[in-house]
Structure 1
Amino acid sequence: MAVFAAADAPLRARAVCEAMDLEIAPSNVNNVRLKLKRLAERGILIEPEQGLFTQPRP
């Protein structure tokens, strides 16, 4: 969540991987994307456009 707190714009899964110092491999990007989708379903993140994720702003 610190990645999103520091970001000034919505992020894609690849950018989250880079921010977390994960190897940019298709499997890592897909795993992060699935986790981001799950967080969006739970209301922790929002997906303003397909593939872009951010924290909801109060």
Structure 2
Amino acid sequence: MHGYRLKSIVRQLTISFATASMIIIDQHWLAPHQSRLAESVNPYNPVYQNTLAYRVD
């Protein structure tokens, strides 16, 4: 019985660690893209201003 509990705890910890690792990797990959998007989408960018000017409601 104790071996099964240990196996279950190790399995849960492994799954938790793998999930956290994938989230960290995903956020690390996504951060530069969001940063570049934030740099280009601002009120001082003329391309963005033109896009807003021709936006259809």
**Shorter-normalised TM range:** 0.3 to 0.5
Larger RCO: 1 or 2 (CA < 8 Å, sep 6+): 1
Name whichever structure is richer in strand by fraction: 1
Name whichever structure is richer in helix by fraction: 2
